[in-house]
Amino acid sequence: VTTRRWVRVCSRAELEPGRGVAALVDGRQVAVFLLPSLPGASGASGGREPAVRLRAIDNHDPATGANVLSRGLLGSTGDVDYVASPMRKHRYDLDSGRCLDGAGSVPGVRVWPVRSWGGTVEVLSVVGETAEAVRTHCPFCALQCGMRVRGSGGGVRWRGCGGWTHPLFPVPG
Amino acid sequence: MTSRSRVVVVGHGMVGNKVVEALVRRGATQSWDIVVLGEERRAAYDRVHLSKLFEGADPSSLDLTDPSVYGDPAVSLVASSPVVSIDRNLKLVEVAGGTTYSYDVLVMATGSSAFVPPVPGHDLEGCFVYRRVEDVEAIRSWASGRAHGVVIGAGLLGLEAANALRLCGLATEVVEIAPRPMPVQVDETGGEVLTRRIEEHGLAVHTGTVLASVEAGGDGAVAGVRLSVAGDPDDTAYLATEMVVFAAGIRPRDELARACGLEVGPRGGIVVDERCCTSDASIYAVGECALAAGRIHGLVAPGYQMARVVAENICGGEASFFPSDTPTKLKLLGVDVASFGDARAASDGASTLVYTDHTSRVHRRLVTAADGRLIGGVLVGDASGFESMVAVAAGDMDPPGDMVDLLMPVRAVDGAPAAGKAVLHPNATVCSCENVSAGAICSAIDSALADTGAADVGAVKARTGAGTGCGGCLPQVTDLLNRRLDEAGVAPSRRLCEHFSQSRQDLSEIVRLTGVSPFAELVSRYGSGAGCEICKPTVASILASVAGGHILDGEGASLQDTNDHHLANLQRDGTYSVVPRVPGGEITPDKLVVLGEVARRYGLYVKITGGQRIDLLGARVDDLPSIWAELVDAGFESGHAYGKAVRTVKSCVGTTWCRFGVQDSTTLAIDLELRYRGLRSPHKIKMAVSGCARECAEAQGKDVGVIATERGWNLYVCGNGGTKPRHADLLASDLDTDTLVRYIDRFLIYYIRTADRLQRTSSWLDAMEGGIEHLRRVVVDDSLGLAEELETAMAAHVARYRCEWAETLADPVRLRRFRSFVNTEESDPDIAFVEERSQPRPVMAVRR
């Protein structure tokens, strides 16, 4: 049985713009970041609402096997915000979890839903998830839960570890 | 004076507002009274930019009403007054509540409503449309605390709604019946490129998919949607969700018109002629409720055009509305999408010219008529040159000789030319980490140039992997790049990174001369974007060498890479090493015992370094403060092994013990190390002092090497071990100690000010015009007249030195970052050790 819940990470005030923290969430390590706010930025592309500056991904750097992504430096290239692993500088897109380096040889990381809720930063924890996950970003739950979307044939096809339904959102009844 | 007549405008949306504005501007109020009946509580507002509300804008910022228009005494705006009926015989409209208004001319500007497909469950709690400020407020309040939403429709409005849900923090999926998003604006390939772009934002797009029903959960609200494959209603799937937003198109609001017998189209819309007049000569219709030239015009531009036509006609003019294809250019989810004219090449004899780059997700297509005229186009991902295309298509600009010139993305080129360097054989290995040869790097540069017209170190890294390991080859990669760009006739760039077009040297000058110090200000005044892992530590280093102060003070904390951030060297398993300073390599037995005790207490691995000090490895981040507290208590200080800074001054025992020594090399080494400790620089700086020509301290392999002579000291500079060993060059001979120190002061500051990022002194000298001769003139002969300034800068550094670890231990705020996890006191459970040769050795846990 899969359950999901929002888990407290820290207070919003504990986050330093431009840096990350690591949190232990139901036994998994999550790196939570607060993107820096830029005084020069304005308008739809640059101005970010405070709540939207939070990002969370795995703390585990798949390129090197160490739990260090929370200690990386944040950067941007074009519209992409990323964290550069302090280990060997692999960059991970904070929105998709995709690794921007290594020409596809490095798997991506999970992106965790994160929010600021009454001054508290929380991430969505999923317990009881299938372990051997396919490394794609799941649109159902925003996690790499093993779901595969968009098969061949043009129509929508999704089949993951849980069959035709999503493990996090079972069919009622 | 004739009696005044009255225009009644039904609906105060964007177009209704424009009608009033156009009438007042044309002076209609001299003879007409204008009454506007608005259904909403709010006066007209900018519906096109509703999404701004999700970015934090206040609804009042969308207000469109111009006080000078509504301040006219002949204009009255009646809000919250939906019209319930129209009596064409008596020329009366009645609003809710029973009030009636007579009219001489009526303008229907009732707009449209969101189309909600009549599927089961479409009206459940948790179903929304995206049309009005109230809708936005309802969506936002429902979305808060929820995690997942579905948007029906991937057109312009649908994608905007999807972005809105994303901004609310929801995992969002978009369902579109057509085989691609924005089916009206883009072609098939454009749709694919757009889909990839949208997916990069974490949104999923299901095309060719139909909403079959919305299903309720136990609480009666939306719990999921059932979807089916377009054309195959039996192939269904269930998607759990917490809310549904319908943005699947609009339906003209023509119910009032129908009720009073005006002619409407078979699929809705009030039929109007080219003057925007309905089947009743005293009633006009404009905007999305009007069926003009056989179709509904859903964009605001044709709506405004109709408003002006109607105002002109009411004022006695003769104006006509000729629908033309409005060129549209949008930025949705950060993606440029533009189209104009016959974008899908539907005309007879049309041919197309296509540029598609799936790597950078750009698709551009131009459509030409049989006679070669440009008649349409689609741009996805890069809309540069769009204005020129529209101008060419409209005949406002001469077409280029070759239409391809118009098709290709427009690019800016910048940078300055670079100097020539030694040639590497194509088979030479440049990056040993990834085993990349010089030849492979050159072909990567060539293909980057061919694909994008530009090449930089980042492109080489992405294409070959070179420089992604230890990074030691990056200077060589940069050399190869500059050479190749030079050959290709492309100006190479010394830009530091994507965010600063300046070199490190230029930035260093800017900081020193302007005193601009916060990074955010520097990047907004002299750079662009948010910064990255390249420019942030570079700026932090410049600030440290110019201004001093604790490197983790203020925003400095967010600029430093993890080594500087934790004042320790990150190791492969996520632990850190601890290297206290041992000046000159001289250490007392008591201090040696302390190091041993600390290592034993914290389970650290011990190794003697090449720089004559002791490395304690395997320290957990949580343990760093207590380890350092013990070390500082025992009289140790930071060794800066973690920084791009002066590391060690290695020495032999000199005249003190050695039978061959001619000078006291140990004392000089200690003095130099204490003088330059903590000095931040473009790269690490290593030094050594040998007590005689036997050179036991290997000074000629160091950035600064001193070798004793019978008469004093010989000063060698710019030696290097490492990736590319280089013997140091003799800068000056037989110096007394004072002169030696002055020369080293000048040399170091000159290097710090003028070197590039991560450029060791050896490659700095290799790249220097005039080489060692020039350097000697600057340092020894003071040819630039800089000597005093350089010495003063060094004196300032020496005066303000403080141990970073001692200062950190005294500050609880700085200590907060030394935790494995922010939400528990636990340490990283994946860090584990086994014993090897009686010492700990890390085991890398294989996870997932």
Q: For A28-118, where are the E strands, in sequence order?
A: 28-34, 54-58, 73-77, 80-84, 91-93, 114-117
Burial of B281 (0-12, 13-18, 19+ CB in 10 A): exposed
**ipTM for the assembly:** 0.73
**B147–A32 CB contact, under 8 Å:** no
Task: Return all residues near B9 (Cβ < 8 A) that are at least 6 apart.
Answer: B16, B19, B20, B34, B35, B36, B37, B107, B109
The CA distance from A1 to the nearest CA of chain B, in Å, is 16
**B209–A8 CB contact, under 8 Å:** no
Query: How confident is the model at residue B423, as a pLDDT?
Result: 52
pLDDT over 60 at B483, yes or no:
yes
pLDDT in tens, B710-744: 999 999 999 998 777 899 999 999 999 999 999 99
Q: In this complex, is the C-beta atom of B524 within 8 Å of any C-beta atom belonging to chain A?
A: yes
Query: How confident is the model at residue B121, as a pLDDT?
Result: 93
CA angle B54, B60, B61 (to 5 degrees): 70
Can you read off the two tokens belonging to residue A17?
């713009």
pLDDT in tens, B756-781: 888 899 989 988 888 899 999 999 99
pLDDT over 60 at B237, yes or no:
yes
Q: Which residue of A has its CA nearest to B192?
A: A154
Do B815 and B798 meet the contact criterion of CB atoms below 8 Å apart?
no
Q: Which residue of B has its CA nearest to A125?
A: B147
Residues of B in contact with A45 (CB under 8 A): 331, 334
User: Which residue type is seen at B526?
Assistant: Y
**B240–A9 CB contact, under 8 Å:** no
Can you read off the two tokens belonging to residue B401?
């000789």
Residues of A in contact with B61 (CB under 8 A): none
**B822–A103 CB contact, under 8 Å:** no
Q: For B371-472, where are the E strands, in sequence order?
A: 374-380, 429-431, 436-437
Query: How confident is the model at residue B785, as a pLDDT?
Result: 86
The beta-carbon neighbor of B237 closest among A86, A95, A164 is: A164
pLDDT over 90 at A153, yes or no:
no
pLDDT over 70 at B74, yes or no:
yes
pLDDT in tens, A33-88: 988 775 444 333 333 333 357 888 999 999 888 999 999 999 988 878 899 999 98
pLDDT over 90 at B577, yes or no:
yes
Q: In this complex, is the C-beta atom of A46 within 8 Å of any C-beta atom belonging to chain B?
A: no
The beta-carbon neighbor of A10 closest among B532, B574, B823 is: B823
Q: In this complex, is the C-beta atom of B206 within 8 Å of any C-beta atom belonging to chain A?
A: yes
pLDDT in tens, B788-803: 999 999 999 999 899 9
Can you tell me the distance from the alpha carbon of B747 to that of B790, in angstroms, rounded to the nearest whole number?
8
Cα distances (Å, whole numbers) of residue B188 to A156, B194, B379: 17, 10, 12
Under the banding of pLDDT at 50, 70 and 90, the label for residue B549 is low
Q: Which residue of B has its CA nearest to A17?
A: B558
Q: In this complex, is the C-beta atom of B229 within 8 Å of any C-beta atom belonging to chain A?
A: yes
Q: What is the mean pLDDT of residues B238-248?
A: 91
Can you tell me the distance from the alpha carbon of B671 to that of B665, in angstroms, rounded to the nearest whole number?
10
CA angle B808, B814, B817 (to 5 degrees): 120
Q: Which residue of A has its CA nearest to B223?
A: A172
Can you read off the two tokens belonging to residue B633?
């208590």
Higher per-residue confidence, B749 vs A121: B749
Query: How confident is the model at residue A51, as a pLDDT?
Result: 35
Query: How confident is the model at residue B255, as a pLDDT?
Result: 93
Residues in chain A: 173
Q: In this complex, is the C-beta atom of B622 within 8 Å of any C-beta atom belonging to chain A?
A: no
Across the A/B interface, how many CB contacts are shorter than 8 Å? 233
Higher per-residue confidence, B334 vs A134: B334
User: Which residue type is seen at A68?
Assistant: V
The beta-carbon neighbor of A86 closest among B241, B530, B561 is: B561
Query: How confident is the model at residue A139, as a pLDDT?
Result: 41
Q: Which residue of A has its CA nearest to B814?
A: A16
Under the banding of pLDDT at 50, 70 and 90, the label for residue B405 is confident
Q: Which residue of A has its CA nearest to B49?
A: A44
Can you tell me the distance from the alpha carbon of B589 to that of B322, in angstroms, rounded to the nearest whole number?
96
Q: What is the mean pLDDT of residues B452-480?
A: 74
Task: Return all residues near B450 (Cβ < 8 A) that are at least 6 apart.
Answer: none
Q: What is chain B's mean pLDDT, rounded? A: 86
Can you tell me the distance from the alpha carbon of B170 to that of B374, in angstroms, rounded to the nearest whole number?
42
Q: Hey, is B257 helix, strand or coil?
A: helix
Lowest mean pLDDT among A33-47, B21-35, B46-60, B543-557: A33-47
Query: How confident is the model at residue B645, as a pLDDT?
Result: 93
Calculate the CA B23 to chain-centre distance.
45
The CA distance from B434 to the nearest CA of chain A, in Å, is 10
Residues of B in contact with A113 (CB under 8 A): 147, 169, 171
Q: In this complex, is the C-beta atom of A115 within 8 Å of any C-beta atom belonging to chain B?
A: yes
Q: In this complex, is the C-beta atom of B201 within 8 Å of any C-beta atom belonging to chain A?
A: yes
Sheet holding B105-108, edge to edge: B75-78, B32-37, B5-10, B105-108, B283-285
Q: What is the mean pLDDT of residues B505-514?
A: 80
Residues of A in contact with B145 (CB under 8 A): 117
Q: Which of residues 16-45 of A touch B (CB under 8 A)?
A: 16-19, 21-25, 29, 32, 35-36, 38-40, 44-45
Q: Which of residues 231-250 of B touch A (CB under 8 A)?
A: 232, 235, 237-241
Under the banding of pLDDT at 50, 70 and 90, the label for residue B845 is low
As a three-state string, the secondary structure of A101-125 is CCCCCCCCCCECCEEEECCEEEEEE
Cα distances (Å, whole numbers) of residue A99 to A107, A137, B431, B590: 7, 12, 20, 49
Other C-beta atoms lying within 10 Å of the C-beta of residue B204: 25
The beta-carbon neighbor of B471 closest among A72, A89, A111 is: A89
pLDDT over 60 at B480, yes or no:
yes
Cα distances (Å, whole numbers) of residue B323 to B59, B305, B606, B742, B784: 31, 9, 81, 80, 71
Q: What is the mean pLDDT of residues B401-407?
A: 81
Do B247 and B151 meet the contact criterion of CB atoms below 8 Å apart?
yes
Do B364 and B409 meet the contact criterion of CB atoms below 8 Å apart?
yes
Can you read off the two tokens belonging to residue B355?
């540029």
Can you tell me the distance from the alpha carbon of A92 to that of A106, in angstroms, rounded to the nearest whole number?
10
**A17–B230 CB contact, under 8 Å:** no
Can you tell me the distance from the alpha carbon of B559 to that of B536, in angstroms, rounded to the nearest whole number?
5
Query: How confident is the model at residue B9, as a pLDDT?
Result: 96
**B465–A84 CB contact, under 8 Å:** no
Query: How confident is the model at residue B425, as a pLDDT?
Result: 67
Do A73 and B534 meet the contact criterion of CB atoms below 8 Å apart?
no
Q: In this complex, is the C-beta atom of A5 within 8 Å of any C-beta atom belonging to chain B?
A: no
Cα distances (Å, whole numbers) of residue B413 to B360, B362, B379, B416: 18, 19, 22, 10
**A36–B462 CB contact, under 8 Å:** no
Q: At what angle do helices B438-452 and B474-487 cross, to 10 degrees?
A: 50
Do B607 and B599 meet the contact criterion of CB atoms below 8 Å apart?
no
